[in-house]
Amino acid sequence: MAEMRVLITGGAGFIGSHLAERHIELGDEVVVLDDLSTGRIQNLRLILQHPKFSFQQGSVMDLDVTSKAVEKCDIVYHLAASVGVRRVVDDPIGTIERNVSGTMCVLRAVDRFKKRLLFTSTSEVYGKSAKVPFSEDDDIVLGPTVKPRWGYGCSKAVDEFLIQAYMRQHGLYGVIVRLFNTVGPRQLGNYGMVIPTLVRQAMKQQPLTVFGTGEQMRCFLHVSDAVHALTQLASESSAKGRVVNLGGTEEISVNDLARRIKAITTSSSQIHNIPYDDALGPGFEDIDRRVPDCTRVRQLIGFSPKFDIDAILRSVVGHELSEKEGQFASGALQ
């Protein structure tokens, strides 16, 4: 495939930084646009000085900034969004505004300059559907508007409707990828991400905080598997106009997840189950199972994850240990 100029919005974030590195490895030019509200410049430290990489600090909600960045690229990965259940609960206005207004600006720019778009959506758009596994053509079942927890999934669903509208009315080249619990090195626990939170608690011999009963089932996908699939979907012509689930296929309860993290870290931490009302406010709703039907992504690109859950956890623990050693070596820890 010929070299491209790639724009990644939200590219200083966890997934975006890995995606940027992947495209640099492929020989492409990469531009990251990020306002650093949740992303971190240190996530890009491995490629910051690379001659084919450039970073621009700015918001996708600024149409002028976004348009200038889009104009010079061949393909746009739109990852910029509010992320994490904690951020969604604490800042519901900002969540909806950033997701919908940001995507609207990106779409206007992409449409104006006739660029290709890959948009990362979320499993949250399925809401509280009881049909498992979740398939791309399933109905969306969102909770009531009085519960802010559903604002994130709703805003991302609106983003999807906007993209579909641009594809139908203006012939936009778009691919929508619904990510399911993508995890790995560099992910922070600040906004409610379960694996980095539990790993850091275990390494510090702190109680492992598990919300609810802990019997809710989840599937996790390593970030390297995710970015490999994203780059393939972005260049796969048969993915044009499609909505595609992307996630792991191995189900595990959050309680079992905590137990495996204890074993891998040889931690003496105890598992503490915390009611949702205490952790995330009154009336918080969760779903028992979030499992993707990955038939479509297998058919499109032959996708199969390389990392099982134990390999994912070892990867995260190894990264945390190396980060800790680096802090000691630099004198950051006294």
Q: What is the pLDDT of residues 186-237, one digit of tens each?
A: 998 776 689 999 999 999 999 999 999 999 999 999 999 999 999 999 999 9
Q: pLDDT at position 165, please?
A: 98
Q: pLDDT at position 334, please?
A: 31
What rounded mean pLDDT belongs to the chain? Answer: 92
Mean pLDDT, residues 80-99 taken together: 85
3-state secondary structure the chain: CCCCEEEEECCCCHHHHHHHHHHHHCCCEEEEEECCCCCCHHHHCCCCCCCCEEEEECCCCCHHHHHHHHHCCCEEEECCCCCCHHHHHHCHHHHHHHHHHHHHHHHHHHHHHCCEEEEEEEHHHHECCCCCCECCCCCCECCCCCCHHHHHHHHHHHHHHHHHHHHHHHCCEEEEEEECCEECCCCCCCCCCHHHHHHHHHHCCCCEEEECCCCCEEECEEHHHHHHHHHHHHHCHHHCCCEEEECCCCEEEHHHHHHHHHHHHCCCCCEEEECHHHHHCCCCCCCCEECECCHHHHHHHCCCCCCCHHHHHHHHHHHHHHHHHHHHHHCCCC
- Report whether pLDDT(331) > 50: no
Mean pLDDT, residues 285-312 taken together: 95
Least confident of 55-64, 215-224, 321-330: 321-330
328: pLDDT confidence band, cut at 50, 70 and 90?
very low
Active site residues: 152
pTM (predicted TM-score):
0.93
Q: What is the pLDDT of residues 1-56, one digit of tens each?
A: 568 999 999 999 999 999 999 999 999 999 999 999 989 999 999 999 999 999 99
Q: pLDDT at position 1, please?
A: 55
Q: Where in the chain are the domains?
A: 5-183+221-247+290-306
Least confident of 125-129, 178-182, 301-305, 328-332: 328-332
Mean pLDDT, residues 101-128 taken together: 97
Q: pLDDT at position 7, please?
A: 98
CATH number at 5-183+221-247+290-306: 3.40.50.720
